[in-house]
Chains A and B, each alone.
Chain A
Amino acid sequence: MRHRGGQILLHAILIGILSLTLAPFVFVINNSLRSNSEMNHAFFGLPKLGHDLFSGYRYAWEVLRPYTLNTILVCVVTGLGVVFVGSVSAYVFSRCRFKGKDSLFLAVLAFMMIPGVLTLVPSFLWVKQLGLLNSHWVLILPYMAGGQVFAIFLFKSFFDGLPGELFESAKMDGAGHFRLYWSVVLPLSKSVVAVVAIVNILGTWNNFLWPFITNSDAKYHVISSGLFLMNQSNVSSNYATMFAAYVLASIPLLILFLYATKPFMQGVTSGAFKA
């Protein structure tokens, strides 16, 4: 499929699929600039100039701004935490021999299969007992507990693929496991780290139910629960505001994305993503 005509056909198909995929988001941006009454009269159409185009954005920003900091804080700390904890455990599962390794590993994986809803109420009552409500930790710690499973899985696949000689030479020098992990394995895993961190951040960014019920104090709200609240309040009928809010909520991720695509793609290609 290397002929000229073939190439053009490829491009045409891809552009077609791409437009279908991205079209809804274009609509969102378009409609975030129109007012409700415009949308009442014609759903599709360009924004009318001459009225306050950004009123939706102003309002949404006022609501979402304090939440953005919280979200970033929680997501970054969780991401780093998961990377660290996940890679350490993955190293152990991948490179060490000890009794019960396989069954322990399966046990860890099994946690991925617990339906989230099942543990929603008990987790809530439990963190209340622990006194963690209305704090950042109530988000970070459970997210780490959950997110690390996938991280362990990915890191392990990657570590399994590393050649044995790397470790032999370091072991000869008398390195203990932690040294092996820290100086040998981790530097090599940069791209997988990037992937794990990003996948985790994506997951925690959009999670709304848990922050919603555990952090009723507005000081600790995150963006997703902020969006959900807006959806439930009286502004939900104002599409312009809601769409503006969605756009704003996407911007930080978009920025992250711009810088992270390269390492991300490298990480995915590294061979960690297989079962």
Chain B
Amino acid sequence: MSLHRFVRDIRSCRVSVRRSQIASTAAIYAMLTPTFGLLAVFSLVPFVWAFVTSFFDYEVGGESRFVGLANYTEYLHDPTLLSSFGNLLFLTAFGLAVVMTAPLIVAKLIFSLKSERARYLYRVLFLIPIVVPGVAGMMIWQGMIYNDTGLLNETLRLFGRDDLTRGWLSDPRTVLWAVVFMGFPFAGGINILIYYAGLAGISESIHEAAELDGARGLMKFFKIDVPLVMSQIKLLTILTVIGTVQGFEGMFILTKGGPGFRTMVPGLWMYMNAFSFQRMGYACAIGVILFLLILSLTVLNMRYFRSSEELTAEAI
């Protein structure tokens, strides 16, 4: 009799476990629906459309003609190809160099302050630039600093170096540098906060241990702080790469890729082909190429850039 009840209990137990398992799986899929639903409708459909269009010669509102891989091979011979990707390389490299140094240094400086109030105050103040529309920032640099009667030129004239004045954004020799230097000193925004959080997460005991070993000042910074904020560095690196490779609004507003094609980037050329030149298929091909590029770069980044957890594990 007890065996009978025992078996019955186990059976009902198994049933209820299975039921809860099914309920659990159902719950999982239900909870994932909004995300995948939205993604499918608003992200996947347009992407698939664009991918398919890249194999056609298509004008918005006009007819389309299947051309297979012709758009892709044409891009390989495009006159802007070299300058576009060269610029992209430069912009990404510069962007990475900046994001890995300036905000980190400023974060460290703030972190080293004694007064808690001061630390808080500085963090807030450095956040202010994110409140201003990005366009406004660019217009300021374009219309007040780089233009003919702007800050740079007027300062040169003040020092009597009239010969060095120029249109910084229209001179082919200076334009690329002018574009990357916008936003100097590159310390505004949330990057500082991100690094600060990383620094704050390093426990006191590690610092003390390092000091006992004789590490001081700068050396301590490089040996301890930097590796331990590697996770943050990695995150910002990925975001910077994704942002730079895709990005084009900046160029669009400032230089439209000029003078000549000196500041052309693939994103902008894609945009121009889609809207100005009516070559939607070609533009889509460029876009797909960019997507593959970003994807591979991100995968590389995730694989080879070691996170701070791993570095800590190694150190121990």
Task: Verify if A112 is at the interface (C-beta below 8 Å from B).
Answer: yes
In the bound complex, do residue B248 and residue A117 qualify as a contact, i.e. CB atoms below 8 Å apart?
A: yes
Query: B264-282 toward A: CB 8 Å interface, digit per residue (1/0)?
Result: 0001001100100000100
Task: Verify if A22 is at the interface (C-beta below 8 Å from B).
Answer: yes
Task: Verify if A265 is at the interface (C-beta below 8 Å from B).
Answer: yes
Residues 109-139 of B at the A interface (beta carbon under 8 Å): 109-110, 112-114, 118, 122-137, 139
In the bound complex, do residue B31 and residue A21 qualify as a contact, i.e. CB atoms below 8 Å apart?
A: no
Task: Verify if A250 is at the interface (C-beta below 8 Å from B).
Answer: yes
Interface extent on A, as a size class? 35 or more
Report chain A residues within 8 Å CB of B60: 121
Cross-chain contact of B32 among A31, A92, A125 (Cβ < 8 A): A92
The smallest C-beta distance from B156 to any residue of chain A, in angstroms, reads 14
In the bound complex, do residue A145 and residue B41 qualify as a contact, i.e. CB atoms below 8 Å apart?
A: yes
Cross-chain contact of B38 among A17, A85, A96, A176 (Cβ < 8 A): A85
Task: Verify if B254 is at the interface (C-beta below 8 Å from A).
Answer: no
Q: Which A-chain residue is minimally distant from B123 (CB atoms)?
A: A265
Known: A14-B110, A98-B28, A268-B194. A122 touches B46 (CB 8 A): yes
Q: Which A-chain residue is minimally distant from B30 (CB atoms)?
A: A178
Cross-chain contact of A178 among B27, B42, B132, B140 (Cβ < 8 A): B27
In the bound complex, do residue A10 and residue B109 qualify as a contact, i.e. CB atoms below 8 Å apart?
A: yes
Task: Verify if A183 is at the interface (C-beta below 8 Å from B).
Answer: no
Q: Which A-chain residue is minimally distant from B110 (CB atoms)?
A: A14
In the bound complex, do residue B197 and residue A269 qualify as a contact, i.e. CB atoms below 8 Å apart?
A: yes
Interface pick from A46-54, A55-63, A253-261: A253-261
List A residues at the B interface (Cβ < 8 Å). Answer: 1-2, 6-7, 10-11, 13-14, 17-18, 20-22, 24-25, 27-28, 31, 43-44, 84-86, 88-89, 91-92, 96, 98, 104, 108-123, 125-126, 141-142, 144-146, 148-149, 152, 174, 176-178, 181, 199, 202, 205-206, 208-209, 224, 227-228, 231, 239, 242-243, 246, 249-250, 253-254, 257, 261, 264-265, 268-271, 273-275
Q: List 15 A-B contacts (CB under 8 A).
A: A25-B128, A43-B150, A85-B38, A92-B31, A115-B270, A117-B267, A122-B45, A177-B28, A178-B30, A199-B190, A224-B135, A243-B136, A250-B133, A270-B197, A273-B232
* 8 extra A-B contacts, CB within 8 A, seeds A7-B113, A121-B60: A10-B109, A44-B151, A92-B28, A118-B283, A122-B46, A174-B20, A181-B31, A271-B197
